[in-house]
Amino acid sequence: MHFADEAEIKVQAGNGGNGSASFRREKYIAKGGPDGGNGGGGGSIIMKADENMNTLVNFMSKKHYKASHGQQGFGQNKYGSAADDLILKVPVGTLVFDKESDDQLADLTEDGQQVIVAKGGLGGKGNSNFKSSTRQAPDFAELGEPGEVKDLKLELKLIADVAIIGYPSVGKSTLISHISNAKPKIADYPFTTLVPNLGVVKVDQTDFVVADIPGLIEGAHEGKGLGIAFLKHIERAEILVHMLDLSREDLLDDFKKLNLELSSYSDVLSKKDQIIVFNKSDATIPEIIEEAKVNFKKYKPLFISSVTGEGIDQFLYRLKDEVLIHRKKKRAEKPKDEHKVFRPHIDIPDAKNFKVEKEGKGFRVSGKRVEQLAIMTDMTKKGGIFRMHDILGKIGAYREMKKLGGTDGNKIHIGERTFTYMDLT
């Protein structure tokens, strides 16, 4: 099975459509009022956790994702239509980082959870929005805002549904290597496994994640053996497979001691559902199996051999059933509308959060909203440029520039746009 737990991709949200600059046509009037509609918003790129996915391998072959652009606005106040968002499905447990800043944008831990990773651009306003008492015939409209473009790093930290626990050398790693894509080290000495191995198991149409946990021993909760670190991991798994080794002396004693470790560590652990599995059925005599069947009757134990494969199908179906029961229970506990799109981007409340600094012989005005307005300004239309100067006056940017010695002719840099100082106030 192909498996990948890291990927780097580029995402490009759609641009907003341009607003329309149009005038009403009326029979006896050469140029009616402005009637240009707004452009539609560009499509955003959304990542959505999907429990049926278990690898990032798709993102190894396709690396570039683009959402569509919004439609431009039309005359007669018709709006352009907004583009659809592009939804990328990722496995539950995917972490999303901005590659440039290394900021974590999302930790998708639950099925259905989604996050906007690149926001589509706003549609530009049509010229009918810019009519005022002093501006009867605005000949300009806003341009659509460019969509966000980001390089992302995806990292998958699978969250195990099932943890296989037991004493060292009972055959936990052998079992996971048999039923999943995991390839752990297997050997006949204790503590072969030093960190948990995760594997994806597929039974019919159901995928689930199984963790092979390093062997536990008496005193584990006090830090003996590999100790407490891994008991923490077990806490996150829904189901425990408690493995016992048929070649050991006192199975009931092993079972009790291990359970005592779990309950000494935490209540959560002792309350988890356990599936009892006796391993190494190939290496024992029928009498031992019969005795275990009697002693453990109330736990409905399973008997397998991780080496010959005996009993493993039955074990897998039992596991699948339990996984599905747990998933159903979890879903029922959760109110449906909890997975709203989480927006890590700041919605721009107003243009008054800005900063003015000297830059060269002119100034730089920075701030999210003011930069957005600048990039949406149609530089080919005087009206559009005037509007920008008007805004700079209204928000107080000209006042600040004047304090710093600004005069007509200075350059004003806003994002990637440059305007020429022209104080209208």
Ligand X SMILES: Nc1nc2c(ncn2[C@@H]2O[C@H](COP(=O)(O)OP(=O)(O)OP(=O)(O)O)[C@@H](O)[C@H]2O)c(=O)[nH]1
* Binds 169: which of ligand X, Mg ion, none (CB < 5-8 Å by kind): ligand X
Is 288 a binding residue for ligand X by CB under 6 A? The answer is no
Is 284 a binding residue for ligand X by CB under 6 A? The answer is no
Which of residues 92 and 276 has its CB atom nearest to ligand X in the complex? 276
Rounded CA separation 403/399 (Å): 6
Rounded CA separation 45/341 (Å): 11
Per-position x/- string for 99-138, each x denoting binding to ligand X as judged by CB under 6 A, each - no binding: ----------------------------------------
| Binding range to Mg ion, per CB under 5 A, among 13-21, 187-195, 287-295, 378-386 | 187-195
Rounded CA separation 82/335 (Å): 29
| Binding range to Mg ion, per CB under 5 A, among 37-45, 70-78, 166-174, 231-239 | 166-174
Per-position x/- string for 209-248, each x denoting binding to ligand X as judged by CB under 6 A, each - no binding: -----xx---------------------------------
E strands of 100-187, at which residues?
104-108, 114-118, 149-156, 162-166
Token code pair at residue 93 = 């447990």
Which of residues 188 and 337 has its CB atom nearest to ligand X in the complex? 188
Q: Which of 170, 237, 376, 392 touches ligand X by CB under 6 A?
A: 170
Q: How many CB atoms lie within 10 A of CB 53?
A: 19
Per-position x/- string for 178-197, each x denoting binding to ligand X as judged by CB under 6 A, each - no binding: --------xxx-xxxx----
**Which residue type occupies 127?**
N
* Binds 305: which of ligand X, Mg ion, none (CB < 5-8 Å by kind): ligand X
Burial of 197 (0-12, 13-18, 19+ CB in 10 A): buried
Ordered strands of the 6-12 beta sheet: 64-66, 6-12, 149-156, 94-98, 104-108
Q: 3-state DSSP call for residue 370?
A: helix
Shortest reach from residue 144's CB to ligand X, in Å: 58
Residue of 400, 386, 389 lying closest to 423 (CA atoms): 389
Is 109 a binding residue for Mg ion by CB under 5 A? The answer is no
**Which residue type occupies 109?**
T
Bridge pairing between strands 362-366 and 355-359: antiparallel
Which of residues 125 and 280 has its CB atom nearest to ligand X in the complex? 280
Is 169 a binding residue for Mg ion by CB under 5 A? The answer is no
Rg value, the chain, Cα: 32
Q: Which of 20, 71, 129, 173 touches Mg ion by CB under 5 A?
A: 173
Q: How many CB atoms lie within 10 A of CB 321?
A: 12
Rounded CA separation 263/240 (Å): 13
∠ CA 317-321-216, nearest 5°, is 80
For the chain, the distance separating the N- and C-terminal CA atoms, rounded to the nearest angstrom, is 68
Shortest reach from residue 5's CB to Mg ion, in Å: 20
Shortest reach from residue 272's CB to ligand X, in Å: 19
E strands of 222-369, at which residues?
239-245, 273-279, 302-303, 355-359, 362-366
E strands of 109-225, at which residues?
114-118, 149-156, 162-166, 197-203, 206-212
Q: Which of 33, 112, 168, 415 touches ligand X by CB under 6 A?
A: 168
Burial of 235 (0-12, 13-18, 19+ CB in 10 A): middle
* Binds 344: which of Mg ion, ligand X, none (CB < 5-8 Å by kind): none
* Binds 60: which of ligand X, Mg ion, none (CB < 5-8 Å by kind): none
Per-position x/- string for 115-154, each x denoting binding to Mg ion as judged by CB under 5 A, each - no binding: ----------------------------------------
| Binding range to Mg ion, per CB under 5 A, among 3-11, 142-150, 169-177, 415-423 | 169-177
Shortest reach from residue 261's CB to ligand X, in Å: 14
Q: Which of 127, 129, 180, 193 touches Mg ion by CB under 5 A?
A: 193
Is 390 a binding residue for ligand X by CB under 6 A? The answer is no
How many residues sit close enough to ligand X to count as binding (CB under 6 A)? 23
Q: Which of 22, 279, 377, 410 touches ligand X by CB under 6 A?
A: 279
Rounded CA separation 147/67 (Å): 9
Q: 3-state DSSP call for residue 228?
A: helix
Q: Which of 58, 192, 266, 270 touches Mg ion by CB under 5 A?
A: 192
Is 306 a binding residue for Mg ion by CB under 5 A? The answer is no
> Under the rule (CB under 6 A), what is the footprint of ligand X?
168-174, 186-188, 190-193, 214-215, 279-280, 282-283, 305-307
> Under the rule (CB under 5 A), what is the footprint of Mg ion?
173, 192-193
